[in-house]
Amino acid sequence: MLTGVAISPLLGVGAVGAWKYFEATAETRPRLPWFAQPWFWLPALLLVGVVFAKDIAGPVVPTVLKKPLDVAEVIENKLSGLVAVGAFVPLMISVSSLFGSGDSSSLAAAGFAAIGWDSVLNALLTPFAMIAFVIVWLAAHAINVIILISPFGTVDLALKAFRAFILSTVTFTSFANPWLGAVWAAIIIAFCYCIAGWSFRATVCGTVFVTDLLLRRRRWFTPAAGKLWAFTSRQLESVPVRTYGQVRRGESGRLEFAFRPWLVGSPRQVMLPAGEYVVGRGIIAPELHATVGDDSTSLLRFPPRFKGHEERIRELINAAGVREIGLLAVWRWIKELFGFGPQPAFPPTEPAQSVSPPA
């Protein structure tokens, strides 16, 4: 149950609540916890159905209409995850009596003062259960982030289908045999632990991008020296992809990337490769490219709030210039192909002088 709810919090909490509601008798239903009341699980499951319909129609829905819905789903997943880890998981651990009643009940019946070891063990289990929930939720939430930044509807549908498949295996194995379900859930938790760093970086990236887009921060944001936040587009020495940090000119004059591991670790920095750099003007956010001739390699990607401030970024890091990248570069090439692009300014040519033919 813990693993399944972590994979899809709104669906998991709503399904567990509906299950407990229909399993209870009419006399005990008013005393059920909040997530087992119809006022919660019914709207939750309806919202899950709307999201499922959006995912099914994803490949045929234009990206300009689908991406706002993906943004809303990312926000919903964050909110439902916070509610689940803060309210649902501790409550389920406390009411499930996972360790049974132990020997304390028999000792107490005999007149001895005894400790309720079941409640003690359940209380000790709660923080570990919350940590396991967060680890699995991070991995599942990273799928929503990848869907948000992916421009391909078929990729989005495949990722959602994969997550639904993993969730179904947790459900089927638990119904087939509780021990088999527990072992499979433990395998999933262990795998999610191994990719926790990757999941955390993807979650931070998605959070920053969604916040910037929703608040339209680029309209009132001004880049400043020492505050050029960016994500790594590729691995830089030992720094993994999507690490969040700042790019700046070091004392040696070279560009360097400063960051904190897990956002709270001790500050570190790594030098960017020596060479010429340009700021790429993308559709959603600018990038920092290292250029070699006509070829360029993306090293850093700035958050969406830097959109429209490419010239300011170039000035702050003393880059060589600004150029279009991605779809903007393709669109510019198409316009120039049909003669709608900017025309180069050439000096006027002198009129040809007529020469008299020889007699």
Average pLDDT, stretch 49-71? Answer: 71
Domains in the chain: boundaries: 2-211, 224-337
- Can you tell me whether residue 289 is helix, strand or coil? strand
Nearest CA-CA partner of 3 in 191, 183, 185: 185
Q: Residues 197, 217: contact at Cβ < 8 Å?
A: no
- In tens, the pLDDT along 15-40 reads 989 998 999 898 889 888 888 899 99
Res 348: pLDDT: 42
Res 96: pLDDT: 60
d(CA 38, CA 56): 26
Residue 238 pLDDT > 70, yes or no? Answer: yes
Nearest CA-CA partner of 239 in 214, 257, 213, 263: 257
d(CA 340, CA 262): 47
Average pLDDT, stretch 190-201? Answer: 94
d(CA 184, CA 186): 5
Higher pLDDT, 151 or 271: 271
Res 186: pLDDT: 94
Task: Give the pair of three-digit tokens for residue 111.
Answer: 């007149």
Residue 147 pLDDT > 70, yes or no? Answer: yes
Residue matched to tokens 């990848």: 146
Res 349: pLDDT: 37
In terms of C-beta density within 10 A (0-12 exposed, 13-18 middle, 19 or more buried), how is residue 323 classed? middle
Confidence of residue 234 (pLDDT cuts 50, 70, 90): confident
Residue 293: CB atoms within 10 Å:
6
Residue matched to tokens 């790429």: 280
Higher pLDDT, 154 or 104: 154
Residue 339 pLDDT > 50, yes or no? Answer: no
What CATH number labels 224-337? 2.30.29
Mean pLDDT of the chain: 80
Tally: H helices and E strands in the chain: 12, 8
Residue 309 pLDDT > 50, yes or no? Answer: yes
Residue 108 pLDDT > 90, yes or no? Answer: no
Res 244: pLDDT: 95
Confidence of residue 111 (pLDDT cuts 50, 70, 90): very low
Q: Could you give phi then psi for residue 220, rounded to 5 degrees?
A: -125, 15
Average pLDDT, stretch 242-250? Answer: 90
User: Which pTM was predicted?
Assistant: 0.74
